[in-house]
Structure 1
Amino acid sequence: MNIAAPTEGSTQRRARSRRAAPELAQIDPSGADPLEQQVYRSIRDALIGGRVAAGVGLSVRSLAETLGVSAAPVRDALKRLEADGVLFARPRSGFSTRPLDAAEYADLLDVRLRLEPHAAALAARRARPDDLAAIAAAHEGYSRALAEGAEGTRIAAHNQRFHFAIYRAAQNPVLLDLISNLWVRLGPVLARVTPDLIPGGHDHHALALDAIREGRADIAAQAIDEDLSGAARSISATIAALQASDGNG
């Protein structure tokens, strides 16, 4: 995998990326949940969905404008994500995603391989018709994005929708919350992974969908296990390239 060291042009593009907010779920100022909680959840979901690529900063001003709120709840949400270990503050430059190193990724993968295949097995046993429809629609969106050669952030978002459609179908909120906590650290890196370097990724998704439809828990778990293991090589290469780029920057 090739991720070039920053050039003057790429530095300028990165600066523009810092000023532009990612696609965010809109909030409801009149809703029951506190505004800061809604803002936190919206930004966190963007990180989980790979809509913020690794190395791209987050501007309080641009996020506030996108969400239609003042800077205060956005700043509070970003500080909370910093406390979560997901972001770090740059003096006079807002916030940025915290680098994920090889050792931390290995630890994340170890836990993911224990939780996510189990969630797929539960989905095969518990999925309702609306769950199956959501998984199929997410798979179709992912396949279409691949066929169109979409940019990494878009493909990462479709990949996240597919996986989480399965994990929600497991009907286990505790398990879903644990998996979400892992993905919030991983999402920005997934946006930088080249999908065609992930062996059999599309095939594993199709196999998982078919197995869940047919109630074959063991096959569903195996498909997700192989999907995560296959992607691990490309993700590890991406992390190494990002670390090398940071060292040269």
Structure 2
Amino acid sequence: MAGNTEVRPHDAAGSLADRAYAVLRDRLIVLDIAPGSPINDERVGTELGLGRTPVREALKRLEADHLVAAYSRRGTFATPVDITDLAEISEIRERLEPLAASRAARLASPATRAELRALADTLEERGLQSGDPRDAMRYDMQVHRSIYSASGSRHLEDTLVRYDNLATRIWCVVLDRLPSVSEHVVEHIHLLRLIADGHADAAEAAARQHVVEFERLIRSVL
């Protein structure tokens, strides 16, 4: 149900690069590829059954996302996670997340609203039953990507996905130290239903509060 955050492929080469990008991006976000680790394009290509060209194209996009860094004669590495970036990332998200929620509440199609309601129902049925913060992290990414997609603005979606990815990496660093995240899941349910029901002003306020509470939650364990 998450929104499609990848560039829609126009040819086979683009499709392969999109695939490499999506796999590497999510591994970098959840720290399956540890910060500072080298990334060998040939090894990644072999693992994914791809040539080096689509992997290299994916790495260029990931560099623009600040998830990898390329150094002359040294290679490409997963970027470090800098906790001090939290304030700046949160400030940007606090301004743009409410806009995305408001736009989604005003502009989403009936089919998209039905998807958001279904996601809220799934969170209520499953999310609150799990105390595993990793489940909350996955739901968080799914919810945010769905809302960004529903906003109807490709530029806003691309920007917010990038900053949400960086915020999620910080979350993953402190994941094992976090208290119960059930309240965080409840916030998602409320926000999704506000958007699905077209309550733009309330959705805008709820999205802003969600970002504020996310930063507070992270800082509570730093």
**TM-score, normalising length: structure 2:** 0.74
* Counterpart residue number, 1:243: none
1:209 aligns with 2:192: yes
8 Å contact 1:142–1:159 — kept in the other structure? no
Alpha-carbon deviations, 1:8-39, whole Å to 9, x = none? xxxxxxxxxxxxxxxxx9xx9x7262644542
Aligned amino acid, residue 158 of structure 2? D
Aligned amino acid, residue 157 of structure 1? R
* Counterpart residue number, 2:210: 227
* Counterpart residue number, 2:80: 98
* Cα distance change of structure 1 residues 40 and 92 upon mapping to structure 2, 3 Å threshold: same
* Counterpart residue number, 1:107: 88
Unmatched 5+ residue regions in structure 1?
Answer: 1-24, 241-249
Identify the range of structure 1 (125-134 vs 56-65) with the bigger mean alpha-carbon deviation: 56-65
1:165 aligns with 2:146: yes
Q: CA RMSD in A?
A: 3.6
Aligned amino acid, residue 191 of structure 1? C
Please give the alpha-carbon distance, in whole angstroms, between the structure 2 residues aligned to 1:201 and 1:217. 20
Q: Secondary structure at the match of 2:14?
A: coil
Identify the range of structure 1 (213-222 vs 126-135) with the bigger mean alpha-carbon deviation: 126-135
1:52 aligns with 2:35: no
Alignment of 1:77-88 (within 5 A): 77-78=58-59, 80-82=61-63, 84-88=65-69
How far did 1:79 drift?
5.5
Q: Secondary structure at the match of 1:131?
A: helix
How far did 1:63 drift?
3.5
* Counterpart residue number, 1:133: 114
* Counterpart residue number, 1:149: 131
Unmatched 5+ residue regions in structure 2?
Answer: 1-5
How far did 1:142 drift?
4.2
How far did 1:93 drift?
9.7
How far did 1:198 drift?
4.9
* Counterpart residue number, 1:22: none
Alpha-carbon deviations, 1:78-137, whole Å to 9, x = none? 3553465322469999733422232x2111111101101111111111122221232233
2:165 to 176, 184, 197: 184
**TM-score, normalising length: structure 1:** 0.67
8 Å contact 1:52–1:188 — kept in the other structure? yes
Please give the alpha-carbon distance, in whole angstroms, between the structure 2 residues aligned to 1:58 and 1:81. 14
Please give the alpha-carbon distance, in whole angstroms, between the structure 1 residues aligned to 2:43 and 2:80. 19
Please give the alpha-carbon distance, in whole angstroms, between the structure 2 residues aligned to 1:150 and 1:63. 30
* Cα distance change of structure 1 residues 227 and 47 upon mapping to structure 2, 3 Å threshold: farther
Aligned amino acid, residue 203 of structure 1? V
Aligned residues: 210
Q: Secondary structure at the match of 2:77?
A: strand
Q: Secondary structure at the match of 2:204?
A: helix
